[in-house]
Amino acid sequence: MLSTDKAWEKFGRDEPYFGVLAEEKFTAHKIGENRDEFFASGRRSVSRIIHRFEEHFGALVGGRVLDHGCGVGRLALPLAECFSEVVGLDISPSMLAEARSNAKRLAATNVRFVLADDELSAADGGFDFVNSYMTLQHIRVRRGIRILSQLISKVKPGGGFHVHFSVRTDRLRSRALWWASHHIPGVKIWQNICAGRRWNAPAMQMNNYPLNRIIVLLASHGIGDLLISTEHHANFLTCSVMGRKPD
């Protein structure tokens, strides 16, 4: 099984849009006719995130935003339409190259895309809003918790955040298939062929995070007022947590 970072870079090289949204219409041979729809989905997500945050925590002040796990810019580019500066972080150089191409195509000059590491060292300074959506679930929990702590450290006093992660799969059958694809040689190849994908397409690793550990981590940063919501992504139940860091 490929490591998370290597698998993500393989998605970035071969299927950068499908790697972000695993729908057939966003595969490499179909993205040309569906690119506008792909980014429209990002604008809807950004609008929903900002609306929910401001409804519960008040207006977002300032304008510096960090988008963790930016991929090809699905959220970072719509965020750049709403804020003065956006920094997109991703572990895949190929994803970042595609994101920069999309920014150039859309004439988005207030967004930059930089390579991520676990310390977020390329994201200098503090941010008025930190976003990590559909990203942490693809990172093993122990590592993801450390990254999450770094993300919250990047939030300026009075700034806000939105983090998202998987909490469980829905059915035993789904969990068994996921385990088999990761541990039994040949199962992932068979799944890829049945789905009409390349035989060596990497598995999209999913990891379930314990909500209590997230809450304890946020409390260690002085954050106790939280908005928590759930949503289903395919066979996974996911959770969004929003909050504002105390002044």
pLDDT score for 195: 67
Name, in order, each residue with C-beta under 8 angstroms of 152's C-beta and a sequence gap of 6 or more.
130, 161, 217, 218, 221, 223, 245
Strand ranges of the sheet holding 64-68, from the earlier edge strand across to the other edge: 111-115, 85-90, 64-68, 127-132, 155-169, 236-244, 226-233
Of 124 and 4, which is predicted with more confidence?
124
Q: Which of 12-26, 90-104, 176-190 has the highest mean pLDDT?
A: 90-104
| pTM for this predicted structure | 0.89
Q: Is pLDDT of 222 > 80?
A: yes
**pLDDT tens-place string over residues 5-64:** 888 999 999 999 999 998 989 999 999 999 999 999 999 999 999 999 999 999 998 799
Given phi > 0 = left and psi -120 to 50 = alpha, else beta, which region is 144? alpha
Question: CB under 8 Å to 211, separation ≥6 — which residues?
Answer: 167, 228, 239
Which band of pLDDT confidence, cut at 50, 70 and 90, is reported for residue 1?
A: very low
The candidate with the shortest Cα–Cα distance to 146, out of 199, 203, 217, is 217
Q: For the chain, what percent of residues have pLDDT higher than 90? A: 76
Quote the pLDDT of residue 236.
Answer: 85
Residue 190 has a CB neighbour count (10 Å cut-off) of 13
Is 153 within 8 Å of 123 (Cβ atoms)? no
Q: What is the pLDDT of residues 186-207, one digit of tens each?
A: 776 676 677 676 656 666 678 8
**pLDDT for the residue numbered 184:** 80
What does the radius of gyration of the chain's CA atoms come to, in whole angstroms? 18
- DSSP secondary structure, 107-170, as one string: T--SEEEEE--TT-TTS-S-EEEEEE-S-GGGS-HHHHHHHHHHHHHTEEEEEEEEEEEEEEES
Name the band, by pLDDT with cuts 50, 70 and 90, for residue 160: very high
Residue 38 to residues 24, 117, 183, Cα–Cα distance (Å): 12, 26, 32
- Mean pLDDT score of the chain: 91
Q: Where are the alpha helices (DSSP H) in 15-120?
A: 16-20, 31-57, 76-80, 93-105
**Interatomic CA distance for residues 58 and 160, integer angstroms:** 10
State whether the Cα torsion 6-238-213-125 is positive or negative. positive
* Domains along the sequence of the chain with CATH: 4-244 (3.40.50.150)
Q: What distance in Å separates the CA atoms of residue 87 and residue 188, rounded to the nearest whole number?
A: 35
Asked whether the beta carbons of 63 and 55 are under 8 A apart, the reply is no
Q: Which of 95-109, 135-149, 182-196, 227-241 has the lowest mean pLDDT?
A: 182-196
